[in-house]
Structure 1
Amino acid sequence: MNGESTIKLWGLSITDLTALLMIGLTFVTTVANILLWISTRQTVKLLIGQIRHQVATDYSEAQHTLVDVHRELFLGILNNQKLLESFTNANGLDRNDWELEKISAFLVNQVLLGYLHLRNGIISPSHFEGFKRDAQDVFAYKTVCSHWQKVRVANSEEFRRFVDTELLWQDPGTP
């Protein structure tokens, strides 16, 4: 059994055909692995994006809940005349001033919620533009501006910059 008695197909020996088949299978397996890696990578990126969005949504919802609780607490006081009178008297507050301060706080907090929804990707920048125009109107109220000056340091630098540059800013040509 020497080399002359080997079987040949298309001029190739069985050993050569086996080697070519192995090369072909290795190539197909490599391409399949690369495609699987690309698909897995895209899936992982998508999942990471969904997780980030869910975390941002949860943060926005928590902030919203906090503001709602704050609003409900003060509305409970504002809507209960006896409690409102007792509270303002006990703390030496002018009732009308305190009511205006709380309403101004509600408005500032509402703007904060809208801003957080934008920053967390809950609402799109194009939808936020209408909200921003409304927020500029809110910050045009004297009581809101006055309240903002008292509470601005308690807010994040990012939100302060947004209010100061995009809501309170006026064109020098505007009266």
Structure 2
Amino acid sequence: MRLILLGPPGAGKGTQSARLEQKYGIPQLSTGDMLRAAVKAGTPIGLQAKAVMESGGLVSDEIVIGIIADRIDAPDCAKGFILDGFPRTVAQAEALTKLLKAKGKDLSAVIELLVDDGVLLSRIENRARETLAAGGTVRADDNPDAFKKRLAQYHQQTAPVSDYYKGIGELRTVDGMAPIDEVTKQLDALLAH
């Protein structure tokens, strides 16, 4: 099972990915984690990424796709994987489609968690309040101003990825505003087909 979960920050992708990972025995692949692992392992693509990162640049789509290409060939991905946070752009989505086709693999599902921006902002504010009340440290990106910037960036760069997958007939949606267990049930129902 090869999945992509789409949705804005705070939509619940991480929560649902963890549940899917446990249920199906497939890894959740984070591009950030994969980049760091490739750099640490000193793979050829990891060395390219390291040079770019050390110079303060953004890692190119070509390097990210190369890292994903290596990662999805790992033994723990034999039964599939979950991509959360990738692809972030239509160019990345197109490159991923070509990569999977070249490997003779298809996506099982591309699922978008549909959510309301106003409710997301409330969720983030509540999460920050609850964290502070519990004596914890609030994530730097969990303040309203930073979250609004992340949300705007998502709508500008990443939301068109949904249109790409819709255009090729692969996009499915679930109500990300539902309670967590209900979102899980909706995902299970989609994946059962």
* TM-score normalised by the chain length of structure 2: 0.27
| More helix as a share of residues | 1
Task: Provide the TM-score with structure 1 as the length reference.
Answer: 0.29
Higher relative contact order (CA 8 A, sep 6+): 2
Larger Rg: 1
